[in-house]
Structure 1
Amino acid sequence: MVRVGAHTSIAGGAFNAVEEQVEYGGNCGQIFSHSPQVWQDPNIEDEEAERFRSLSEEHGVGPWVIHSSYLVNLCTPKDDLREKSVDSMQKEVDAADKLDIDYVNVHLGAHTGAGVDGGLSNAASALDELDVPDGVTVLVESDAGSGTKLGGDFEHLATVQARTDQDIEFCLDTAHAFAAGYDLSTPEGVEETLAAFDEVVGLDQLACVHLNDSKHACGTNKDEHAHVGEGEIGEDGMRAFVNHDAVANVPLVLETPTEDGKSFQWNIERVRELRGE
């Protein structure tokens, strides 16, 4: 059975994210360790972490991903922002270790004038500063590529991996890739996109997928998610993607909206329908 789940809330305790996941019918998932809009440290008590671990094991939910704060910018040329970003990421990987979570997901961020090459070097060296616990892997996520944000081009991901000493892997966001110009709306486009990822980065480095449809057209660099099969990627593209051999064993994490009477549960069921499960 496919590993598919949603981004769930730790409000009231990290263990609540597991119970919410089970309600949706998910068997893997993603959380924030704290509010992603502010600089804040994870505050996870030992008993809370134990309940999270035991519930995840009891219900067979995993792997889990911690998504880093939206404020983190690994590409920045600004010393103060870099310091805050590295400090925040260190606390995230430590929280992942405490919760027995495999992955911490992060966007590269924006170079804000440092240039593409300079921004990628900044990101690689920032990653080098992390002391990542054994059993935790940092995932760099593909981006929609608006403004000076990096990660929209698969070459950006490969360059950071080549320049860092950190053992990183990757998360491919389907809506982001589509917005960045990789056409996933047809079976042929899915094949071409995954072949390009394999050639440039390597599918063996793909540890997670953020499975989202897009409200905007291919190549617009606009990041706004839609329900699976109901956006610009559409049903044909999504069906081809979730059934592709390259992602057969890769966890699919949904960040789809809750609107039009459809929630994460609807989207999880939709993925399973598209896979014929």
Structure 2
Amino acid sequence: MSIRIREILDGLKGTGRRPLLKYIPKITLPSDTKGLFPNAILSALPYDQKYSLVGLITEALVLGSEPITNDSPIDELAKLGVTLDEIIKAKIKKSKTTSDYIKKIEKTREELKIKLAEFNGSPEGGGPYEILQNQELKYDCVEGHPDGICGKTVMEVKTSSKLDDDINYFMLQLCSYVALGDGSYSQAILVLPLQQTVITFDARMWPKRKYFRSLLVSKAKNLILAKPAFDIGIFMTASLLVERYGIGSHTKKAPTLLQTVQGLPPNIPYQIFLGGNQNTRLSVKDADLAAAAEYLEENNIILYIHSPYLINLSSSSADNWQENYLQRLIQYGSALGAKGVVVHTGKHTSDKYEVGVKKMRTMIEAVLPYGSPGCPLLLETPAGQGTETLQDQDEFLTFVDSFGSQNIAVCVDTCHVFANGHEPLEYVKASYNHNLLRLVHFNDSSECCGSCKDRHAMVGMGQIGLEKMSAIAKFCGENSIDMLIE
């Protein structure tokens, strides 16, 4: 079992990070630690996602190699599924805040290029450096995913308007990646586009790296041990359950779709994010999609696609980027031969509940024509967190049934419905009896029934327990319902 760096750092609130901070290298901050976000871009984005979206496009522009223009932020937003009307596009391109933002990125990119040359030499042929993204680093029980790796350099891109407040967290994250590299990286770079600078340190001259890593691993193990106790007997029984009923899992997407499906066994359901789980970057090459679809069909691979957590079916956003993104996701899923596209119920946020449900219906109606009975939209049951809609079982099933379409079906998450106060087996049976059930997320819960907390546990070791999870597996197995563990 492993735990991600951000989960470790987020789990060490307050004084918990102090021992780690003692071991990080001393750095010099830029004279101006404040940074201004591009307001024209920011104001065009959904309120609850605007900073994360600006962070994503900033990372893409800084680490990219194409020339940057005032169209570039709009192009990057489009890759994330964010579509803007022509008036807003014109406003963004005309705005001085956009021009200033572009200048900052260009200056930061040039400085980054200089720093990379110092440690890695000039790129072959004089072209751009190859910066690898979406790479996984792992040491012992700790894993992490830095923004970029180039030769012997590991880097993180951070957009912060208050660097004084954020620098300790940023440095802990960057130092953790260096430590996981176990001597593979000579240079670490913190890229700060809003401050128009990069901060570097020579990892070879960091004498306390191994102490930092040991402490990081220790903190990780403490967090793991704080989770429900491990029982080898239950684990073995649960493993037999998984094998007997062909229960699959959520799996990481490889660099290409073809590589992803080639690594999966036949006749067992698996699930992937086509892009990221916390961003809406979506780029799929036609040739890769076609090759993966052919392999999937010829080898009986069962695959589901999960939409990013940022998608809110009840969004109050003035634009329709989420609808467009979901539409593209369903189209990709259909072309791939996936068995469905999973999306969470909407959150009504500041709207009245009825308004949130109405908006969710409108968005679903807009994307349903792109689905099919073979690859439907799968509405996932809520855990009851925050302003999630359709928390009542009958309301949820009636809502899905009301579309009268085979292009929409149900994904029951056993942890979610348990957290929301329901008996998972009864919910599964009710969904099946309505002829709506397509997929079960076969998750135990570390929290009690009715807690409204989405906290998964190993099968049989949570509050649902092995007996009830076994009954769910038996029912699904007897009725040919796909199950997978997240």
TM over 0.5: yes
Q: Note the aligned Cα RMSD (angstroms).
A: 2.3
Matching residue of 2:343: 106
The aligned residue for residue 29 of structure 1 is 270
Partner of 1:149, secondary structure, is coil
Matched, 1:50 2:293: no
Change (3 A) 1:136 1:126: same
2:241 maps to 1:241: no
Normalized per residue, the structure richer in helix is 2
Match among 449, 459, 479 for residue 218 of structure 1: 449
Contact preservation (8 Å) 1:124, 1:163: no
| In structure 2, distance between residues paired with 1:128 and 1:38 | 24
- Who is 1:87 aligned against? 324
Letter in 2 for 1:29: Y
Say which SS state the counterpart of residue 110 (structure 1) adopts: coil
In the alignment, the residues of structure 1 paired with residue 428 and residue 371 of structure 2 have an alpha-carbon distance, to the nearest angstrom, of 30
- Any idea what SS the aligned residue of 1:243 has? helix
DSSP 3-state at the match of 2:249: strand
What residue number does 2:155 align with? none
Whether 1:148 aligns to 2:379 is no
Matched letter for residue 268 of structure 2:
N
Structure with higher RCO (Cα < 8 A, 6+ apart):
1
Please state whether the residue corresponding to 1:129 is helix, strand or coil: helix
Write the distance in 2 (CA, Å) between the matches of 1:114 and 1:159: 22
The corresponding residue for 1:12 is 255
| SS of equivalent to 1:50 | helix
Following superposition, the deviation at residue 70 of structure 1 comes to 0.9
Moved more, 135-144 or 114-123: 114-123
The amino acid across from 1:86 in the alignment is E
Q: 1:132 corresponds to which letter in structure 2?
A: Y
Query: Which is greater in Rg?
Result: 2
Structure 1 residue ranges without an equivalent (≥5): 185-189, 256-277
- Aligned residue pairs total 240
Point out where structure 2 has 5 or more consecutive residues left out of the alignment: 1-243
State the shift of 1:236 in Å.
0.5
Equivalent runs, 1:1-277 vs 2, <5 Å: 2-22=245-265, 27-41=268-282, 43-62=283-302, 64-80=303-319, 83-130=320-367, 131-134=369-372, 135-162=374-401, 164=403, 167-184=407-424, 190=425, 192-197=426-431, 202-244=433-475, 248-255=479-486
In structure 2, C-alpha distance between the alignment counterparts of 1:220 and 1:90, rounded to whole Å: 33
Q: What amino acid does structure 2 have at the position aligned with 1:7?
A: H
2:435 aligns to what SS in structure 1?
Answer: helix
CA distance in 1, matches of 2:245, 2:477: 13
Q: Is contact 2:346–2:357 with CA below 8 Å preserved after alignment?
A: no
Q: Cα gap change, 1:247/1:174 in structure 2, threshold over 3 Å: closer, same or farther?
A: farther
SS at match of 2:329: helix
Once residues 293 and 429 of structure 2 are traced to their aligned partners in structure 1, the CA distance between those partners, rounded to angstroms, is 36
C-alpha offsets along residues 95-153 of structure 1, whole Å, 9 cap, x if unaligned? 11221212111112210132332221111111111231444211100010111012432
TM-score (normalised: structure 2): 0.46
TM-score if structure 1 supplies the norm length?
0.78
The superposition leaves residues 164-217 of structure 1 with CA deviations (integer Å, 9 ceiling, x where unpaired) of 465311100000011011134xxxxx3x4445445xxx4411011111111111
